[in-house]
Structure 1
Amino acid sequence: MSSAASPTPSSGPTPPPAAAGPVSLCDREPHVPADRLVAEMVPPPRFDGVRFDNYIPDPAQPSQAEAVRVLRGFAASVGAPGEGGRRRWFRRAPAAPAAPAGPTGVYLDGGYGVGKTHLLASTWHAAPAPREQKAFGTFVELTNLVGALGFQHAVQALSDHRLLCIDEFELDDPGDTVLVSTLLAKLADAGVKLMATSNTLPGKLGEGRFAASDFMREIQGLSAHFRSLRVDGEDYRHRGLPAAPAPYTDEEVTAAASGVPGASLDDFGALLDHLSRVHPSRYGALTDGVSAVFLRGVTPVPDQGTALRLVVLADRLYDREVPVTASGVPFDEMFSEEMLRGGYRKKYFRAISRLVALARDSGKVVAEGR
């Protein structure tokens, strides 16, 4: 009987399979079908749990408590009998009853970090209309929707809604402002209630009454639909908190990323180059499934186009509560003094505020990854 060679016995326990390393955002080229755009117009994960009850007004700023009071009433009016929907496009409505109490639209006027998005999302959550009849998105997401669907199809897609909430209405792009204002006029005629926050125009940082007057002027004939609510206060992300945390070293960033499941790891310069090839409407999808972002070698951004793309990415990361760990310069040194004095400065201040908050969140992630 011939003897078959027997397997060589193992000299020790079988080693576990190598853990998958961090992904690279630069390897991703997401595509978002147009038919998903409307369905995904809901408050982002960071604002899933926000409500009027967990918005804590600053006792030193009475306008905050007043905004909550007014917005509770506004939310309750959404979906009231005789309100909203495409139905009025297709059949003659009965004689109109007395106008419902409260404005048909609300604009939140205030600086960054005072909780305007919290209040906007709280209104969306509190409105009694069905989820599929409420939409929530940024101004950029709304313009992307129009670009993907076409103007008329966008009107049709949104006119069934009872509430549209728009965050960061862009007043510094005249073409897009006119486009969206025209869209909102169509939706208001269809009975959709509107709520918005906005950026200020160049040279007006929004600490006075400039934001409200600029908003009303730029939306032209829509101003009659909006009541302006002032929300005063300081940036809550910096109330009593330290400045941007000190960056890590390249080696610390790389080592920590390897120990965090679902992490991404990229060189900052390579990521900026990649962002120039991905449409900003896809930056959210770019981070799908990413639990934490790790960046090596953060430097001051070289030009305004790059800076504005970085602002959009910062917004998407902040919305999704994705902590950011980085080496290089601190996040509050990324934008030049010239940028911070220019027409887009409010966007840059918002990006700094949000990235600093995400950098603070990264401390626990780094400790767990070690």
Structure 2
Amino acid sequence: MSTTLSLPAAPETPATTAGPLAAYRRRVVDGSLAADPAQERAAARLDVLFEELRHYPGAHAARRGLRGLFGRASHAAARPRGIYLAGDVGRGKSMLMDLFFEVVPVRRKQRIHFHRFMQDVHARLHAMKRADPALADPIPPLAQAISADAMLLCFDEFQVNDITDAMILGRLFDALFERGVVVVATSNTRPDELFQGRPGRDAFKPFIATINCQMDTVSLDSARDYRRGGLRGMATWHVPADARAELRLDAAFDRLAGGAVPGPETLTVMGRPFQVPCAAGGVARFDFEALCDRPLGAGDYLALAARYPALVIDDVPRLGPDNFDVARRFVVLVDALYEQKVKLVASAADRPDRIFERGEGAGAFERTASRLEEMQSQAYLDLPHLA
């Protein structure tokens, strides 16, 4: 069954004044959102799911016991199809999912960033194995515990970059769908392109088939990138790295975060944690030392660049032979950001072409300085992030 929807125009009259389509239209009328036909079509599909969930028995029950209300088979048979909102950065996917989550009449629901969900999955699997070393397969009891807490799971920024996650997801989602869980997800990557070009992708293909079987992919193909507009007209490289620059970085972070609440996050890179001290709404923020004056490598920087469309860095210093290892890491970081078209906002001791002027390695740094200059151009800022 094909699951990519080419949606007709949204109906003139919504099925209910309580649904996400009506909520979207109210925001357009009051001026808090600009009218966007692609967003309205996606809101109309979310409205259909809203109506289906109003009549879905599992949506109105309190926390289920181990056997559930009607058993696995009846829940799975009645479960509405989920929605996978796919589109480039800044098209309004998270905003639409949040509208849906706010109004959907489901008692047991959870809205969570996908990376945070996977961190919780790994922690719970570890705890279960530690509590019962003889447990042969922890996936069914984990799925039971998740489904007991949430019948509706809304994942923001669904993306798979880690082979460990890839190996878990297929069986976990099969078990969740079997228990009647409905999933809504936003992603910059269409299902058929998940984990593309990575070792082990063949073993990941059954999970892609599960998504296509159990969810409708709705392409949010708006011509306008609302998030990239947040950098239009703004300087992205601030010299010197003083209190005034810090205020400008604060303002850039807030605009790029789009009102999301900042907090720490943890990425998983080759099975180990990589701490991100501050992130929100697709933008992360680091002090330069936290990124380049510690033993991080290309894999860490690639994971960071794949996860976040924008990065804010405080206090880039002058570099030279005395801190060559730091300079080398910065080169690798900039290469990763550039290749993924991450938007960089930074404060620094000087212009890019004067960060590393003299000594061994200065010549090689010229390429990095050139990239940093290009990354400030509007042409670069208008490029989509390559997740």
* TM-score of the superposed pair, with normalisation by structure 2: 0.51
Determine which of 79, 83, 87 is the counterpart of 2:58: 83
Give the superposition deviation at 1:164. 0.4
Are 1:106 and 2:96 an aligned pair? no
Distance 1:65 1:251 in 2: 43
Are 1:122 and 2:99 an aligned pair? yes
Distance 2:177 2:142 in 1: 14
Q: 1:117 to 1:92 in 2, by over 3 A?
A: closer
Give the superposition deviation at 1:304. 2.8
Distance 1:98 1:306 in 2: 39
Q: 1:77 to 1:157 in 2, by over 3 A?
A: same
Give the superposition deviation at 1:71. 0.6
Unaligned runs of 5+ in 2: 1-22, 126-137, 195-203, 251-265, 318-330, 348-387
Give the superposition deviation at 1:78. 3.0
Q: 1:335 to 1:76 in 2, by over 3 A?
A: farther
Distance 1:353 1:120 in 2: 27
Determine which of 225, 240, 248 is the counterpart of 2:238: 248
Give the superposition deviation at 1:199. 4.2
Q: 1:88 to 1:201 in 2, by over 3 A?
A: same
For residues 100-179 of structure 1, the aligned pairs below 5 Å read: 103-130=80-107, 133-150=108-125, 151-152=138-139, 153-160=141-148, 161-179=150-168
Partner AA of 2:96 in structure 1:
L
Give the superposition deviation at 1:326. 3.6
Determine which of 210, 226, 233 is the counterpart of 1:236: 226
Give the superposition deviation at 1:172. 4.2
Give the superposition deviation at 1:70. 1.2
Identity of aligned residues (%): 24
Give the structure 2 partner of residue 71 of structure 1. 46
SS of residue matched to 1:245: coil
CA contact (8 A) 2:191 2:211 kept: no
Q: 1:354 to 1:245 in 2, by over 3 A?
A: closer
Are 1:190 and 2:179 an aligned pair? yes
Give the superposition deviation at 1:147. 0.9
Distance 2:345 2:55 in 1: 36
Give the superposition deviation at 1:338. 6.3
Give the structure 1 partner of residue 254 of structure 2. none
CA contact (8 A) 1:120 1:165 kept: yes
Q: 1:74 to 1:146 in 2, by over 3 A?
A: same
Give the superposition deviation at 1:200. 3.0
Q: 1:242 to 1:229 in 2, by over 3 A?
A: same
Distance 1:354 1:192 in 2: 40
CA contact (8 A) 1:67 1:231 kept: yes
Q: 1:178 to 1:77 in 2, by over 3 A?
A: farther
The alignment of Structure 1 onto Structure 2 pairs a total of residues equal to 258
Structure showing greater radius of gyration is 1
Q: Deviations over 1:311-359 (max 9, x none)?
A: 59958x99xxxxx674549xxx995456644xxx3xxx4x528999xxx
Give the structure 2 partner of residue 226 of structure 1. 215
Unaligned runs of 5+ in 1: 1-50, 206-214, 261-273, 319-323, 357-370
CA contact (8 A) 2:305 2:337 kept: no
Partner AA of 1:188 in structure 2:
F
Query: Which protein has the bigger strand share?
Result: 2
* TM-score of the superposed pair, with normalisation by structure 1: 0.53
Partner AA of 1:195 in structure 2:
V
Distance 1:96 1:353 in 2: 50
CA contact (8 A) 1:253 1:296 kept: no
Partner AA of 1:156 in structure 2:
Q
CA RMSD of aligned residues (A): 5.1
